[in-house]
Amino acid sequence: MIPHKPLFSIIIPVYNRPQEVDELLASLCTQTVRNFETIIVEDGSSLRCDEVCKKYPQLNILYYYKENGGPAQARNFGAEKASGEWIVFFDSDCIIPEHYFSNATKEVERGNFSLFGGPDRSHPSFTTLQKAIDYSMTSMITTGGIRGNRKSADKFYPRTFNMGIRKDVFEKIGGFSNMRFGEDVDFSYKVKEGGFSSKLISDGWVYHKRRNTFRTFFKQVFNSGIARIHLTKRHPGSLKLVHLLPGVFTVGEALLVVCALLSGIMFGWEIALLCISPLLLLSTVIALDATLRKGSLKTGLCSVCTSFVQLTGYGSGLLAGWWNICILGNGNYAAFVKNFYK
């Protein structure tokens, strides 16, 4: 039974993804503890999911349609409608394991924190590319695991694909900003700067599909690189060495490729191979590590491609953001902004 006033209010911003919402809602039906309400905010979709929501009357779904304004504003809209003590944000491309709210309930009842988050994983049903993207975004080798899975309270900043916050704290912070990208990290920074603590719930993980093409994945990480510069301007002192590593990699990668081309023309392709040997070594390490972690050679080989896209895309965005925002003074610089969800 769902209590009159739920402990959790789940908020899911949606844009043209009825099939994914169907999978997410089906996973919520399997929860061993159902002390939540579910708020769907349709953000200007042409492919609505209202009929999908009607399939799950047992979930106490509140469905709202609004004009497109991006996921951050959709989350703020949903928070205004929430009645739970805690607000939990999921992305529409997530699948929630049956133990999620059982673990979350135990943690919030005994914990002294105001913000929590958890890791993400790839589901066995995901495509090879989705599993490879998951690897590249969570591996220590690509810095994704370093940046996103720190357990200490002063270093962990939850992301909105899997984030929970006390509603009263959300209201004190003022909700999400109007940043187009990086708004979830900006929000986590504001919570910390407001004197509130956070917690990584390791058992509170979700299955996260992420992007499904190399093109959309590159756009995502490129925008994340730009967002890091905006975040540094908004929150001085937040830029760490680990955030710069993809930029260093991108410059080094470009130099090695140029050296290899020049060496091949001038001295022969044996020298060219020697020039790019660091990249070949990195590719081999990634392929072996991903194959062992994912249990698939095909995924391991694909992970080489996604890891280079992740590092180069983020690094390129970081460098482009630094040049345009810090050097040229274009504070509104952004890329790939036609749609918030693509």
Q: Which domains are assigned to the chain?
A: 8-212 (3.90.550.10)
- Burial of 237 from C-beta contacts in 10 A (0-12 / 13-18 / 19+): exposed
Residue 281, φ and ψ in degrees, nearest 5? -65, -45
- Distance (Å, rounded) from C-alpha 194 to C-alpha 186? 12
The three-state secondary structure class of 102 is helix
The one-letter code for the residue type at 271 is I
Token code pair at residue 53: 């929501």
pLDDT of 150 over the 60 cut: no
Residue 137 has pLDDT above 70, yes or no: yes
- The pTM of the whole model exceeds 0.95: no
Written as six digits, the tokens of 40 are: 């769907």
Give me the pLDDT at residue 268, please.
Answer: 84
**Cα-only R_g, the chain:** 21
Q: Which two tokens stand for residue 80?
A: 């205004």
Interacting residues of 5 by C-beta distance below 8 A, sequence separation 6+: 83, 84, 85
pLDDT at 312 over 90: yes
**Phi (first) and psi of residue 247, to 5 degrees:** -65, -45
Span 223-233, mean pLDDT?
94
Higher pLDDT, 101 or 181: 101
User: Concatenated DSSP letters for 15-47?
Assistant: SS-HHHHHHHHHHHTT-S---EEEEEEEES-SS
For residue 317, the surrounding DSSP H or E stretch is: helix 297-321
* Cα–Cα distance for residue pair 310/312, rounded to 1 Å: 6
The three-point CA angle 52-53-58 to 5° equals: 125
User: Token pair of 175, please?
Assistant: 């909700």
Average pLDDT, the chain: 91
Asked if 275 and 263 touch (Cβ cutoff 8 Å), the reply is yes
Pairing of strands 61-66, 120-121: unpaired
CB atoms within 10 A of CB 305: 17
Cβ(45)–Cβ(20) below 8 Å: no
CA 238 distance to own-chain centroid:
18
- Per-residue pLDDT of 41-85, as tens digits, reads 999 999 999 999 999 999 989 999 999 999 999 999 999 999 999
pLDDT for position 142: 85
